[in-house]
Amino acid sequence: MTVGIVGLGLIGGSFAKAYHAAGWRVLGYDRDESVLSFTQLADAVDEPLTMDNIGTCELVLLCVRPLAAVEYLRQAAPHIGGKPVVIDCCGTKRVVCAAAFPLAKEYGFTYLGGHPMAGTQYSGFGHARANLYHNAPMVIVPPDFDNIELLSRVKELLSPAGFGSFSVTTADSHDEMIAFTSQMAHLVSNAYIKSPTAKAHKGFSAGSYKDMTRVAWLNAPMWSELFLENRDYMLRELDGLMDCLMQYRAAIAENDGEALTQLLEEGKKRKEEVDGR
């Protein structure tokens, strides 16, 4: 079995290590040739992925930013053929799926949108690990929701990664949800750490500070691209958050303990509801 992986950073590198450990032949491509060379020295990639051998793969994973995935797929589409299943692993789905589904139909290859719900605040192959996806959720955006045979095949092809669950959705629903569960968390964390008080936090911080600031350390160009591609849902979430914050601010400014307590109780209750407690 052969897997082709485009982009050998944290996401693609972790896939490469997982599939190589499972005994698959791993073909890799990265625009930085030094990264590709290192992955081969690290025994994660067997050979370079090229337009000549991409059609030999059972699975091709696009582990790059959305616009880069679209650009690569447009170049590779005439060479893929009917054998591989192509899955992108981008953080937003509408941009990629809008371009990829027509390309797949035109050139006769199988494509699905995908998003592995795992990662760290770090990037690059140096932080990749074979167990990154163990028990993590995987989101799939298929071309046909009634094709159970294809979904079963995809689960089998992704089994070396060790995902714990699979969710099937549309590109639009994915982007709406990911604005809240991932993108807002990164943006708020990044804004929170800009407080002048942060420079003097040592000795005064514990778990809550670490939890709140973990994803403030991010790949700025990548997240900027993802935020802007999903700006409609991001703006909706931002507007809602700012409305809530202004309510807390008003209660504190007015020294209104009753109103502040109610707001805090509402937030606690919402947490209990969404976590099923």
Q: Tell me, what's the pLDDT at 205?
A: 73
Q: Which domains does the chain have, with CATH numbers?
A: 2-169 (3.40.50.720), 174-275 (1.10.3660.10)
Q: Tell me, what's the pLDDT at 152?
A: 94
Contact 13, 19 (CB under 8 A): no
Q: Give the integer Cα–Cα distance in Å for 45 and 42.
A: 8
Q: Give the integer Cα–Cα distance in Å for 109 and 50.
A: 17
**Tens-level pLDDT at each residue, the chain (277 residues):** 999 999 999 999 999 999 999 999 999 999 999 999 999 989 999 999 999 999 999 999 999 999 999 999 999 999 999 999 999 999 999 999 999 999 999 999 999 999 999 877 778 888 889 999 999 999 999 999 989 999 999 999 999 999 999 999 999 999 999 999 999 999 999 999 999 988 878 777 778 888 898 999 888 999 999 999 999 999 999 999 999 999 999 999 999 999 999 999 999 999 999 887 6
* Chain centre to alpha carbon of residue 252: 37
Q: Tell me, what's the pLDDT at 277?
A: 66
SS (H, E, C) 170-226: CHHHHHHHHHHHHHHHHHHHHHHCCCHHHHHCCCCCCHHHHHHHHHHCCCHHHHHHH
Q: Give the integer Cα–Cα distance in Å for 157 and 58.
A: 8
Residues 133-187 pLDDT 10s: 999 999 999 999 989 999 999 999 999 999 999 999 999 999 999 999 999 999 9
Q: Tell me, what's the pLDDT at 169?
A: 97
Q: Give the integer Cα–Cα distance in Å for 114 and 69.
A: 12
Q: Tell me, what's the pLDDT at 124?
A: 87
Q: Is this model's pTM higher than 0.95 or not? A: no
